[in-house]
Structure 1
Amino acid sequence: MKRLSDSTQIPVRQELIIDGASCASCVSKIEQALRAVTGVESAEMNFALRTVIVTGKVDSPSLIKAVEAIGYGAKSSNAASDDELLDQKQIADEKYYKQLMKQVWVALGLGIPLMLYGLAGGPMTVVTLQERMLWLAIGLICAGIMYFAGKHFYIGAWKSFVNHSANMDTLIALGTGTAWLYSMVVVLAPTILPEMARHIYFEATAMIIGLINLGLALEVKARGRTSDAIKRLIGLQAKTARIVREVNGKSQEFDIAIEQVQRDDIVRVRPGEKIAVDGIVIQGTSHIDESMLTGEPMPVAKAEHDTVAAGTLNKSGSLLYKATHVGKDTALAHIINMVKQAQNSKPPIGRLADTISSYFVPSIMIIAIVSALTWLNYGPEPSIAFAVISATTVLIIACPCALGLATPMSVMVGVGKAAEFGILIRNGAALQTASKVTAMVLDKTGTITQGAPTVTDVVIADATYAERELLSLVAGIESGSEHPLAQAIVDFSLQKNIAPAAVSEFEAIAGHGVSGVYQEQQVIFGNQALMMQHNIALNDFVAQAQKLAEQGKTPMYLAVDQKLTAVIAVADAIKADSIAAIKRLKASGLRVVMLTGDNRATATAVAKKVGINEVFSDVQPEDKADKVAQLQAQGEIVAMTGDGINDAPALALANVGFAIGTGTDIAIESADITLMRGSLHGLSDAILVSKATLANIKQNLFGAFIYNVAGIPVAAGVLYPFYGLLLNPVVAGAAMALSSLTVVSNANRLRLLKHKY
């Protein structure tokens, strides 16, 4: 028996809220520290939300201790629900925003007047005793502002120093601290400096702190919008449910909190109400608006035995249904979890940015030192002033805070936009890879077609049998099969009030058919290959079967005691928008391939109808993954789309696996991206979102780097000998804040993305 203490060793996902992270280099340090903890399997930090998801067999105190050991703060999310967690984050963000704006106004309250004074020609030097006293007072006020509005930078820099590392705070602290200290030396001991070097930079310190805090405040304000997709999904959840229970022998209805609903409870939903939990209809008919989950605009008819999903809206009739999944097990809860997980994950391009930033900060510090020494030894007088200006400006403009936002902001908005389209992206890697797909493999049944075939033809080969008798026999032998074609035959027989025959010794023959025993006679039902294996003569019926196959139907042979008795054809109707969706895929330059277990003739007929030129037919379930590998060996980046259990290996092997949301749970779990609608238009939509998001990330990385790359040489003084151009520290601070604003604004452009059909 498993001990109670063993339960703590089950791998779990924990969310930590991080305090003190200020740039992309912080992200990599925090992730590395957490991954080094024994028992941690993975750690992914979302810099935009300042949260980290940790998976593994480890307790929260150990994780928090590891983060604190490298100089950052951490606390475990104690929210009981996603809704509560978002509320906590929103409250914390609002509080942080107000605090930052106070710091902005205090810092700029000193910095702007001083800067305007200098621009107006006011002397920013120390000559007389009166000027020394005035500037000393301003310097002390500036020190107070540094404490009130900038202490988080200095504390962060100190923690990084103690832990033998450097981050954005290090650059800001060194830059503003150097400018303030130099100015105080000018005020307190001006004679140790050449007269030309006695310039005051208090306005630079105050302006830089104010502008950087302004950038952080704008970032906090904007990142609150990135949770909109999650908020909308959570908002779909009903707060209460009307339960029908037996009380003292009488059926009574009463409302309870959604958290109290139990599996197998009977739930009533009235017109205009939301479905509370997932379930199966046991009484009534209605139309359900599922657009909030699937993106499908038309309401779906529901009757007995149909499933309903939490969060969807009952439009017309009253329904009674039995709860099958409650709490965290509902489809909506899984969707919310998948969107959160995807928004927290990083595409490979994001990890590259983290790696670059970890080397970026130390490199900038070296450049600042080299620049200062160069100006000090080879620059014009006052060389020390130029050295201070150059080093300070290099440190400030190089702060990579926008770099940390470049990827997560785009991923969060992109994944949220995909969810609006009814597309669930499991992780950042899938989001990136989908943009590079060159070949799209489509399973036929349930993907291109409705997945609900029906009997179209019954050709009798043995006149001693009547049609009803044959259908009873086939329905009896297929009752034990889970194949869609088998279900079609059983349903067709029941519709004609034909009871299935009592068939024993049922055996499913994978990829071929089924066999059994009826009244001591061996019965075989399946494809031509199965008949050949049993040496059953098909005679002229092969030609008839071929004609049926050419019409897009699937012919199957029935043999009793080694004698052919009938050919039964089943057809699966093509989905209404499959032709248009496949045309759209081909128009985007994709190689579209159909994959099916059907015979060549049937597969070719269906492929021709939908406009597919390349077909893999007669493929056994276990061989589907081999076909994907075959395409990959040709250099294709393969996406596989399917909805069945036998598609799972191929979905897992493909570079990107797409599952039709109406399919099986196993297929959905094996896929990287799930299409909640049954429409193949979701494939193009997913690729559209992927390409737009990747382009947005690249634009963000360019926006984050361009200020640094363009500004660093100017700040270091490379252009001074040619144009007399040396960047001002205040301009550097403004450029750094502008880079954050650029990244955040650009990421939010993804919200404007629309369908293109």
Structure 2
Amino acid sequence: MAEQTIKFDIIGMHCVNCAMTIERRLKDLQGVKSARINFSRTTGIVTYDADVTNKTQIVKYIKEIGYAAKERIRLDQADQTSIQMGWLIFSILASVAMMVFMYAPMPASVHDFMPYIMMIIATVTVLGPGMDFFVSAYKSIRNLFANMDVLVSLGVLSAYIYSAFAVFGSFGTSGHAFFETAVMLIAFIRIGKYLEERVKGRASHALQKLVKLQADKARLLSPEGKESEVSASLLQVGDMVVVRAGEIIPVDGEVMEGSSSVDESMVTGESMPVLKQKGDGVVGATINKTGVLRVKTTKVGEETVLSQIVTMVEDAQMDKAPIQRHADQIANIFVPIVVGLSIVTFLCWYFVFYNVAGQDPFVWALKTAIAVVVIACPCAMGLATPTAIMVGSGVGLDHAILIKRASALEEIARLNVIVFDKTGTITEGHFVVTDIVSSNQVTESELITLAAAGCALSNHPLAQSVVEEGRKRNLPWDLVRDFQEEAGGGIICRYKGKDLLVGNERFLVSHRIKIDALQGKYEELTARGKSTIFIAYDGLYRGLLGLMDKIKQNARDVVTQLKKMNVRSVIMTGDSDLVAKTVAAEVGIDEYRAKVLPAEKMEIIKDFQGKGLKVGMVGDGINDAPALAQADAGIAIGAGTDVAKETGDIVLIRNDMMDVVRAIQLGKRTLSKVRQNLFWAFFYNVIGIPIAAGIMYPFLGISLKPEYAGLAMAFSSVSVVTNSLLLKRRLV
């Protein structure tokens, strides 16, 4: 079975129910494994068996359903937008004309023909700006599904058809015609749709901003050394490009010549420019700040870091959070229920309460029934979750936090426990010299010089840290001779004609070096969980160094913030109990697991989950893959530009522990917005439908004209999307 995935831009969707219709029908197509359609982004992702079906058949099938699909094309909708704007303006002008004919004084000669003039205006409006709603409703019904446009079409056509009969039944008078209802319904709903699209555009602003960072042009360098300007999209792997100061780097590649500072903040979130020299990798869409670089292209198209980030965010926005599935189930049955309520409303007012309104019973019953149909808004329910997810993932992107699954935002908001892998997460991931204890025979600088000289040829992490300390102090040392390294012990070599030993306590003792001096200091360092290196030169013990994997600067602040959020922190490490205890105490964590083998990490996560806890795992994203996958929310930290290599549900590009707090805060805010949106959507319908049905008219004289019911419906969707935009407040 050859399983493939294709992404589409979907054209012709009018509401969330349209997306649900396409999704449901695609899942019925033979060979399709899964389908996700996102109304907010007008996109779809389909996974299919290439042995059974193909892209062409899927596109054809979507067309048969009544919509259009284009593969991976970011549509330029300028023409379509201008048409929609034209219809919006037309419907508004038609509404104004209707109001003038209804309320402005007219000569008797004009007054007699007003019903026909209004009918002509209404007919043009219904067949022009209103046609989109009828086409969408037809597609929906043809697919045995009822979307919001079915309700709009019922309302508009009911008002228009009845008014037409009223006009022809009573020549020369307005009768009970109410063409203005049909016209103003179309105008108000188009206004609402326009505002909704504008707000939805702002919701995806972060992703659009990232896409626009890509360079349009590149300076291609020929083998003969000649520069020519070409489209960046035409570059191939192996092409050499020249990037001058101030220009956007057009490709992912390797610096072959030159040196410059590069601003990677738009991709990694790190504000400080990064020095790039020969052999260093650069990322497309970053900015060359100072020098001139010659870059060899290594990745193009979908393989670039920017494309991978965009794909991750798009996939998350296409994904459905668990809470959204419940809303979709309600939206599925919502329209038939509303149509039923509308019929009941008409029957009650016409047959039971016909004396209450003091108007023509049929007209009053019809108007209230139309108001019920058009005030109901399944779109508000359908937009409640995806718009919040869209904005939330965009806010995350602004903070270098990549959300890979929509459900991750919901899961991370519910966490009780965060398990931190120690090395590289709470600590920097490399050792630093913290203590220098020298004997009376040497100074601190001389001790570091001896240790660095002995360690210079070793690849051991502790040895490399000693060498780094020597370099930081600008200490010179000569090359050693007769270098030998004993695994798990230390180094013996000749330095300036004398024996030099660098290693652990057992190693020096085995070479008959007396280390009784400074024993108290050694025990003190060990008690504090530090690693130690002993140095002997010319047969004498010269001192020892204390090293520790440096704890990240804001680790304690992060733990404090998590406590305030009622999230329990746990350290998990393969180090000794003493080291784990020391690090935990340093950052304010009360619970730790020491001497944990890589295979055991997943079992510890399972153990917490077995106690009914929601567990987040923070690790390096590669070595901790099983534990990250097992956790309710797996968080990979410090990905840098290697985002494609990371596992986990959330990828933190920066190596900043505070981003863990930001991610949880973002999840909580997003979930809160989803709940607010759903509450508003349900509350609006629960309150609005009875008012539209005239339930308050007998007691308070309050009723709702169909056109104003349509306006309320249009703005209910806008309010949901606008509320989601409030997520854009800055995180900690």
Q: State the TM-score bracket (shorter-chain normalisation).
A: 0.7 to 0.9
Deviates more, 1:720-729 or 1:258-267: 258-267
CA contact (8 A) 1:645 1:666 kept: no
Aligned to 2:373: 395
Q: CA deviation at 1:129?
A: 13
Aligned to 1:62: 57
The residue type paired with residue 16 of structure 1 is D
The residue type paired with residue 579 of structure 2 is T
Aligned to 1:42: 34
**Aligned to 1:11, what secondary structure does the other structure show?**
strand
Deviates more, 1:173-182 or 1:314-323: 314-323
Inter-partner Cα distance in structure 2 for 1:69 and 1:254: 46
State which of 604, 619, 639 in structure 2 corresponds to 1:662. 639
1:403-414 map, 5 Å? 403-414=381-392
CA contact (8 A) 1:433 1:656 kept: yes
The residue type paired with residue 706 of structure 1 is F
State which of 224, 231, 234 in structure 1 corresponds to 2:211. 234
**2:4 maps to 1:11:** yes
Q: CA deviation at 1:417?
A: 1.7
**Aligned to 2:41, what secondary structure does the other structure show?**
coil
Inter-partner Cα distance in structure 1 for 2:219 and 2:727: 39
The residue type paired with residue 86 of structure 2 is Q
CA contact (8 A) 2:396 2:666 kept: yes
**2:683 maps to 1:688:** no
Structure 1 residues 546 and 136, CA gap change in structure 2 (3 angstroms): farther
Q: CA deviation at 1:647?
A: 1.0
Inter-partner Cα distance in structure 2 for 1:620 and 1:349: 36
State which of 182, 192, 202 in structure 2 corresponds to 1:205. 182
Q: CA deviation at 1:363?
A: 0.5
State which of 600, 603, 616 in structure 2 corresponds to 1:639. 616
Deviates more, 1:613-622 or 1:226-235: 226-235
Post-superposition Cα deviations, 1:635-691, rounded to whole Å, max 9, x if no partner, equal 221111111532111111111111123369599531111111111111122222222
Q: CA deviation at 1:476?
A: 7.6
**2:335 maps to 1:358:** no
Q: CA deviation at 1:146?
A: 1.0
CA contact (8 A) 2:621 2:628 kept: no
Aligned to 1:535: none
Structure 1 residues 690 and 514, CA gap change in structure 2 (3 angstroms): farther
Structure 1 residues 473 and 286, CA gap change in structure 2 (3 angstroms): same
TM (norm. structure 1) is: 0.80
Inter-partner Cα distance in structure 2 for 1:682 and 1:443: 15
Deviates more, 1:663-672 or 1:613-622: 663-672
Inter-partner Cα distance in structure 2 for 1:39 and 1:499: 68
Inter-partner Cα distance in structure 2 for 1:576 and 1:167: 54
Post-superposition Cα deviations, 1:38-74, rounded to whole Å, max 9, x if no partner, equal 332332222123222223334233223333444x311
Structure 1 residues 76 and 426, CA gap change in structure 2 (3 angstroms): same
The residue type paired with residue 252 of structure 2 is D
Inter-partner Cα distance in structure 2 for 1:735 and 1:500: 86
Aligned to 1:24: 16
Q: CA deviation at 1:91?
A: 2.2
Inter-partner Cα distance in structure 2 for 1:584 and 1:736: 41
**Aligned to 1:572, what secondary structure does the other structure show?**
strand
Aligned to 2:310: 336
**Aligned to 1:451, what secondary structure does the other structure show?**
strand
Deviates more, 1:35-44 or 1:623-632: 35-44
CA contact (8 A) 1:264 1:323 kept: yes
Structure 1 residues 444 and 377, CA gap change in structure 2 (3 angstroms): same
1:541-690 map, 5 Å? 547-554=524-531, 570-643=547-620, 645-662=622-639, 665=642, 668-690=645-667
Inter-partner Cα distance in structure 2 for 1:415 and 1:545: 50
State which of 413, 433, 436 in structure 1 corresponds to 2:411. 433
Structure 1 residues 241 and 189, CA gap change in structure 2 (3 angstroms): closer
Aligned to 1:521: none
Inter-partner Cα distance in structure 1 for 2:405 and 2:305: 18
Q: CA deviation at 1:469?
A: 11
Aligned to 1:166: 146
State which of 54, 71, 78 in structure 2 corresponds to 1:77. 71
Q: CA deviation at 1:22?
A: 2.4
Q: CA deviation at 1:287?
A: 3.0
1:460-539 map, 5 Å? none
CA contact (8 A) 2:305 2:642 kept: no
Aligned to 1:82: none
Structure 1 residues 325 and 130, CA gap change in structure 2 (3 angstroms): closer
**Aligned to 1:670, what secondary structure does the other structure show?**
coil
1:170-249 map, 5 Å? 170-189=150-169, 199-242=176-219, 246-247=223-224
Structure 1 residues 637 and 42, CA gap change in structure 2 (3 angstroms): same
Structure 1 residues 232 and 724, CA gap change in structure 2 (3 angstroms): closer
Unmatched 5+ stretches in structure 1: 1-5, 80-84, 123-127, 461-465, 507-512, 519-524, 532-538, 559-565
CA contact (8 A) 1:110 1:203 kept: no
Inter-partner Cα distance in structure 2 for 1:238 and 1:515: 52
Inter-partner Cα distance in structure 1 for 2:238 and 2:548: 36
**2:95 maps to 1:108:** yes
The residue type paired with residue 754 of structure 1 is R
CA contact (8 A) 2:619 2:636 kept: yes
Structure 1 residues 501 and 314, CA gap change in structure 2 (3 angstroms): farther
The count of corresponding residues between Structure 1 and Structure 2 is 688
Structure 1 residues 236 and 199, CA gap change in structure 2 (3 angstroms): same
Aligned to 1:732: 709
The residue type paired with residue 60 of structure 2 is K
Aligned to 1:534: none
CA contact (8 A) 2:321 2:406 kept: yes
Q: CA deviation at 1:394?
A: 0.7
**Aligned to 2:402, what secondary structure does the other structure show?**
strand
CA contact (8 A) 1:446 1:663 kept: no
**Aligned to 2:204, what secondary structure does the other structure show?**
helix
Inter-partner Cα distance in structure 2 for 1:273 and 1:746: 38
**2:287 maps to 1:300:** no
**Aligned to 2:46, what secondary structure does the other structure show?**
strand
Structure 1 residues 160 and 469, CA gap change in structure 2 (3 angstroms): same
Post-superposition Cα deviations, 1:216-257, rounded to whole Å, max 9, x if no partner, equal 12222332333322222123223344456643xxx6665554
CA contact (8 A) 1:707 1:739 kept: yes
Q: CA deviation at 1:580?
A: 2.8
Post-superposition Cα deviations, 1:186-227, rounded to whole Å, max 9, x if no partner, equal 223359xxx9x9522211111111111111122223323333
Aligned to 2:252: 278
Q: CA deviation at 1:503?
A: 9.0
TM (norm. structure 2) is: 0.83
**Aligned to 1:641, what secondary structure does the other structure show?**
strand
The residue type paired with residue 149 of structure 1 is P
Inter-partner Cα distance in structure 1 for 2:699 and 2:60: 53
1:714-733 map, 5 Å? 714-733=691-710
The residue type paired with residue 730 of structure 2 is K
Structure 1 residues 159 and 457, CA gap change in structure 2 (3 angstroms): same
**Aligned to 1:229, what secondary structure does the other structure show?**
helix
Aligned to 2:731: 755
The residue type paired with residue 7 of structure 2 is Q
Post-superposition Cα deviations, 1:365-417, rounded to whole Å, max 9, x if no partner, equal 11111121222221224332232122111101113233333333222222112
Structure 1 residues 367 and 274, CA gap change in structure 2 (3 angstroms): same
Deviates more, 1:417-426 or 1:736-745: 736-745
Unmatched 5+ stretches in structure 2: 439-446, 494-501, 508-514, 536-542
Inter-partner Cα distance in structure 1 for 2:227 and 2:168: 82
Inter-partner Cα distance in structure 1 for 2:134 and 2:282: 55
The residue type paired with residue 168 of structure 1 is M
Post-superposition Cα deviations, 1:156-205, rounded to whole Å, max 9, x if no partner, equal 223333333221111111112112222223223359xxx9x952221111
Structure 1 residues 603 and 50, CA gap change in structure 2 (3 angstroms): same
Inter-partner Cα distance in structure 2 for 1:577 and 1:467: 29
Post-superposition Cα deviations, 1:461-497, rounded to whole Å, max 9, x if no partner, equal xxxxx99999999888857xxxx66875897899967
Inter-partner Cα distance in structure 2 for 1:392 and 1:235: 45
The residue type paired with residue 375 of structure 1 is W
CA contact (8 A) 1:658 1:673 kept: yes
Inter-partner Cα distance in structure 1 for 2:626 and 2:642: 13
**Superposition RMSD on alpha carbons, in Å?**
4.1
State which of 422, 434, 447 in structure 1 corresponds to 2:400. 422
